[in-house]
Structure 1
Amino acid sequence: HVKLTTDQIKQAGIEIDTPALRIIDQTVRVKGVIDAPPTHKVAVSVPMGGYLKVMRMVPGMKIAKGATLCEIEDARYVDLQQEYLVGKSKLVLLENDYSRQSDLRQSQSVSEKVYQQVQSDYTSQKAIVAGLAEKLRLIGIEPSRLSDKGISRRIVLRAPISGYVSKVNVNAGQYVDPTLILFEIINSADIHLSLTVFENDLSKLEIGQKVTCYTNSEPSVKYVARVSLINRSIDNDRASEVHCHLENQNKLVPGMFMNAEIHVRSGQVTSVPDEAIVRWENKLYIFVAEGDNRFNMIPVAAGPTTGGFTAINDDLSGKRIVTANAYSILMQLKNNADE
């Protein structure tokens, strides 16, 4: 107990009132990360191995679709272009021969066996050239633009989508093959908030619930999201992944760590102003006014906080409590104890 004079109460600005029923949001505090759906992530590899010669990509770099990611060099690129040009030249000869033999066949001036052989050679060469053309397109070379004066030992690897470079797994001078993922690009146009929620809180979640989140670097800047997908499977850490659609995503990029509060339920509960609660020796207390300027400090179990008010899980019916400047009473109580 602590007893104050009327002047002390007035000077400290202590106010007394009855706890009221207010609508308080119950929240679940979790952590998560800004992420993109699998359909908006692209792993980039080279279709035919070679030595990486030019590369200026760094994680976080913004890039447009079609922009150069790197340049790769190998003698096999020269061989492929050469094979295509030689094959294309041979195809022209076979096409002319096939056309001539077709005319002769109509006039019955050539045997059917000779005609079928010419037709087979022409068809086979046509398929070979078509296959070589597709291989060239696979490494980024347009066959229709290729000539004997334009053969190059280098190919250019271009970005398949616009977005941010999230991973760079290679260095200049390194030999890369098709099994190696060189870069990962994320399209940030449809990023979402991915939260880790432990199993004891999963039953409280519903689609559409409001989520307030913020970064560690700017906790005062709040972002609003809505629960859009709840993964009901539990991992080895007894947690599940919850996806949330962001209503505003300015400045947010994939990979950012986020703190979040999921607003799971609202209801009328007994509440007190935040400044009515004091913390002492890692426990929470309020002061109950007992008349004659006497105050009794009692422990309380606090619930969620909304708009400057905190829910109290204890029965405070019939009690009048200190609602403002409760810490001044705590200081007086500690001073009395020291004396």
Structure 2
Amino acid sequence: MKRIYILLFSLVLISCGKSEKNAETAKKQVANDNSITITQSQFGSEKMELGTLTEQSFNKTVKTNGMIDVPPQNRANVSAFLSGYVKRTPLLVGDKVKKGQLVVTLENTEFIEIQQQFLEISEQLNYLKSEFERQQTLYNEKITSQKNFLKAESTYKTSLASYNGLQKQLQMMNMNPTSVAQGNISSTINIYAPIDGYVTKVYASNGAYISSSNPIVEIINTDHIHLELSVFEKDILKIKKGQQINFKVPEASNKVFKAEVHLVGTSIDTSRTITVHGHIENEETINFVTGMFVEAEIIIDAKKGQALPKDAVLEIGNNYFALILNNQKDGNYTFNKVKLDVGENNESYLEILNTEDFENKKILTKGSFMLHLENE
């Protein structure tokens, strides 16, 4: 019986010893999961770097998009007062033009008819004026009837109105009424550039018939360009004049440009957005093209906070970690993995809220991701 008790007691001791050993092994494994040791050679070859928390700026923004545009007065769709056939169009897309430069020459027999009408009335007007003045004198002297006087007055004033109307039409056709009155009649009219700028569109070619309602060329003056952004109505109360805008032209460059909110629209369009007008910083030094698509962020608030570079942060599942230098001895580096409580973020940094865990600590700011992969 004593042998049985001794045997059972021995088995219990062995079992307890194994349990303690397993617990110790598990404890070491947990410790190993939270610490990583590397050599000086590894540290150098992976170009790892140590650093500390730094103060960074974090912005609250409204994301939006839009385009590069020009003010309405800097854009001109050139058209003709009357329809006609294109006889000459010397401009190509990209050509620079000055205000008053020839854009297109049109031809139409209707131009001749207007000039003929003006010339005929011009010739008659002197006679009708003299007759009106003569009848007025006779009427005042009781020599002629009121009927004759009123008829002469009506004929003269009607012709004068027609003369003035045709004169205005000739001026709108860029023709000189004085020259036409001298008998110089032409079947063509010239259309001139109303502004300085560049030709961005040409809608007609030689021989084409152009209606008076259709544009012939588009000219844009890029001396002043701006942003036209579309902001959803849920965000519009956050937007104020003077706020900074950071924007990119994603199809052309990754560079971030700056602008400032200049005007905020007062009506919502059918897409439930409001237009925000922004002035671009140093616009004269940047070769933007009208119509370029932009992605923008309007800064509505800003704050400063302690932060780590995004390269220093490990994202594991829904948690964030950083590696703190625990020990540097015998050419080896030992790092502990510490959980982060994160706040705002910007393009390069992540705000750290649990800063007390990192006071006077050196943090692996470069190479964390590679080190984590090697120890997976």
The interval holding the TM-score normalised by the smaller chain is: 0.7 to 0.9
Alignment correspondent of 2:279: 245
* Uncovered stretches (5+) of structure 2, i.e. residues with no partner: 1-32, 328-333
What TM-score does the superposition give when structure 2 sets the normalisation length? 0.73
Q: Is 1:161 aligned to residue 195 of structure 2?
A: yes
Structure of higher RCO (CA pairs closer than 8 Å, 6+ residues apart):
1
Change (3 A) 1:240 1:323: farther
- % identical aligned pairs: 27
Correspondence list, 1:41-120, <5 A:
41-105=75-139, 109-120=143-154
Change (3 A) 1:134 1:96: same
Distance in 2 of aligned mates of 1:204 and 1:323: 38
**Match of 1:146, SS?**
helix
Listed one character per residue, the Cα deviations across residues 122-155 of structure 1 (whole Å, up to 9, x for unaligned) are: 2222222112111212222121222454211111
Alignment correspondent of 1:272: 308
Report if aligned partners of 2:135, 2:144 keep a CA contact under 8 Å in 1. Answer: yes
Q: Quote how far apart the aligned CAs of 1:244 are.
A: 0.5
**Match of 1:291, SS?**
strand
Q: Is 1:19 aligned to residue 53 of structure 2?
A: yes
Q: Is 1:7 aligned to residue 40 of structure 2?
A: yes
Report if aligned partners of 1:272, 1:323 keep a CA contact under 8 Å in 2. Answer: no
Q: Quote how far apart the aligned CAs of 1:83 are.
A: 0.7
**Match of 1:207, SS?**
coil
Give the count of matched residue pairs. Answer: 331
Cα-Cα RMSD: 3.4
Distance in 2 of aligned mates of 1:284 and 1:25: 23
**Match of 1:229, SS?**
strand
Change (3 A) 1:13 1:295: farther
Q: Quote how far apart the aligned CAs of 1:209 are.
A: 0.9
Q: Quote how far apart the aligned CAs of 1:86 are.
A: 0.9
Alignment correspondent of 2:293: 257
Report if aligned partners of 1:234, 1:240 keep a CA contact under 8 Å in 2. Answer: yes
Which moved further from structure 2: 131-140 or 182-191? 182-191
Correspondence list, 1:1-339, <5 A:
1=33, 3-5=36-38, 7-8=40-41, 11=44, 14-105=48-139, 109-147=143-181, 149-199=183-233, 201-215=235-249, 216-220=251-255, 223-231=257-265, 233-235=267-269, 237=271, 239-250=273-284, 251-277=287-313, 286-289=321-324, 291-292=326-327, 293-296=334-337, 303-305=344-346, 310-312=349-351, 315-319=354-358, 320=361, 322-325=363-366, 327=367, 329-337=368-376
**Match of 2:189, SS?**
strand
Listed one character per residue, the Cα deviations across residues 207-247 of structure 1 (whole Å, up to 9, x for unaligned) are: 21112334343444x54311112336555555442210123
What TM-score does the superposition give when structure 1 sets the normalisation length? 0.80
Q: Which amino acid aligns with 1:260?
A: A
Q: Quote how far apart the aligned CAs of 1:267 are.
A: 0.7
Distance in 1 of aligned mates of 2:103 and 2:343: 55
Q: Quote how far apart the aligned CAs of 1:111 are.
A: 4.4
Q: Quote how far apart the aligned CAs of 1:276 are.
A: 1.8
Change (3 A) 1:209 1:99: same
Identify, as 1 or 2, the structure richer in helix. 2
Q: Quote how far apart the aligned CAs of 1:275 are.
A: 3.6
